[in-house]
Amino acid sequence: MDNRISKLQALLDDKKCSAILISSPINIEHLTGFSNFSKYEREAYLFITKLNALLFTDARYIEAVEKIIPKEIKASTKDPVEEIGKIIKRQQIQKIGFEKNLTFAEYKEFKSEIEANFTLLDNVIEDLRSIKTLEEIEKIKKAARLTDKTFSYIIKKIKLGVSEKEIAWEIEKFIKENGGTLAFDTIAAFGANSSIPHHLTSNKKLTNSDQFILLDFGAKVHGYCSDMTRTILTKNAGIKAKKMYQTVFQAQENAAKSIISGKKNNAANAAKTANNTLIKAGFEIIPHGLGHGIGLEVHETPHLHPKSEDILTSGDYFSIEPGIYIPKFGGVRIEDDYLITKNKVEQITKSPKNLIEI
């Protein structure tokens, strides 16, 4: 696991803590390699001090966990509150960091039983996760390749009379039949439905009067996500729809070209660049962020928006997804995945985004 535990231990002094209690299942997966803990129920805690790392779970998982976790992590089915209390006394730990994922009830239980100060450590592990290793990059690229392959498949399935749900189902089926899972629920939006950025896929069927077909989907392979959006125009699309498309396309190109690895405010500046492109063409600014990091989760650090303080640097994997949305008319969004390597911004998803009309 490329010394992830030792990297985190080295950060404890900077955070003025002697230990950290990790409750987020995704962060536990990142640090241990075990991915089967529920995202909705508390099935594990990971407690890391400067001297050791202990994973608390129950008898359902202990055998599977011990086969996967790195040797520097010890697994236990003992009561975490009681055991952490013993470690605190033995190692004379004064301050414990915890994650925002910890519930208030859990916080109260730990606080009442453990004689140490607790302090919120926000996004410590998320920041570590944002810089991808070569192994992680290869997994994400596999997800991106399957996403591209899915687009090539689904474009042939779009015809008059097909419903949004039918297209979404075809996308899900194809991804699963080809070794992946869905990174998130697919968005399929026809006609005016495309003006809703996170439209809930419906039974609406494609008709002659529709101008837009918006598809936002992504494959997940070996635990890592991809995220891509393509907007297709129908043969009924008018001048206004085509101008929207060309403007969004140019906004994405301009934003990507603006990014200089490691430069201060480059995430915010990319978002401002995209917005300026839209404004100059007579449209409103993007009503959502320009993009986001992608990895074990489809939305993670870094964040691209006008007020972002994140700095995009080598190893960051993220989306750029400008959009124009006009209520009751339609919307255009184009989204691709990008990776910064050796000071170069590389587009990873490769599906065609020239103006497609069907």
Look up residue 337 and give its amino acid: D
CA separation for the pair 221, 204 (Å, rounded): 30
Query: For position 52, what pLDDT does the model report?
Result: 95
Give residue-wise pLDDT tens across range 192-216.
Answer: 999 999 999 999 999 999 999 999 9
Look up residue 281 and give its amino acid: A
CA separation for the pair 169, 189 (Å, rounded): 13
Query: For position 1, what pLDDT does the model report?
Result: 62
| Nearest to 230, CA basis, from 215, 250, 242 | 215
Give residue-wise pLDDT tens across range 27-66.
Answer: 999 999 999 999 999 999 999 999 999 999 999 999 999 9
Query: For position 85, what pLDDT does the model report?
Result: 95
- Residue 56: both structure tokens together: 């608390």
Fold observed for domain 4-129: Creatine Amidinohydrolase; Chain A, domain 1 (3.40.350)
Q: Report, as an integer, the average pLDDT of 335-348.
A: 94
Count CA atoms closer than 13 A to 245's CA, side-chain side: 22
Residue 356 has pLDDT above 90, yes or no: no
On whether the CB atoms of residues 311 and 268 are closer than 8 A, the answer is no
Q: Report, as an integer, the average pLDDT of 221-232.
A: 98
**Can you spell out the DSSP letters for 126-193?**
HHHHHB--HHHHHHHHHHHHHHHHHHHHHGGG--TT-BHHHHHHHHHHHHHHTT-EESS--EEEEGGG
CA separation for the pair 40, 303 (Å, rounded): 24
Mean pLDDT (the chain, rounded): 96
On whether the CB atoms of residues 286 and 271 are closer than 8 A, the answer is yes
Asked: is 131-347 a CATH 3.90.230.10 domain? The reply is yes
On whether the CB atoms of residues 81 and 110 are closer than 8 A, the answer is yes
Q: Where in the chain is the domain with CATH 3.40.350.10?
A: 4-129
Burial label for 247, CB within 10 Å (0-12, 13-18, 19+), is buried
* Conformational region of residue 222, where left means phi above 0, alpha means psi within -120 to 50, and beta covers everything else: left
- For residue 111, name the pLDDT band (cuts at 50, 70, 90): very high
Residue 238 has pLDDT above 80, yes or no: yes
In this prediction, what percent of the chain has a pLDDT beyond 70? Answer: 99
CB neighbour list of residue 235: distance below 8 Å, 6 or more residues apart = 357, 358
Residue 112 has pLDDT above 70, yes or no: yes
Query: For position 2, what pLDDT does the model report?
Result: 63
Query: H helices then E strands: how many in the chain?
Result: 10, 19
Bridge partners (DSSP) of residue 171 are none
CB neighbour list of residue 304: distance below 8 Å, 6 or more residues apart = 255, 267, 268, 270, 271, 289, 290, 291, 292, 310, 312, 318, 320
Give residue-wise pLDDT tens across range 132-157.
Answer: 999 999 999 999 999 999 999 999 99
Q: Where in the chain is the domain with CATH 3.90.230.10?
A: 131-347
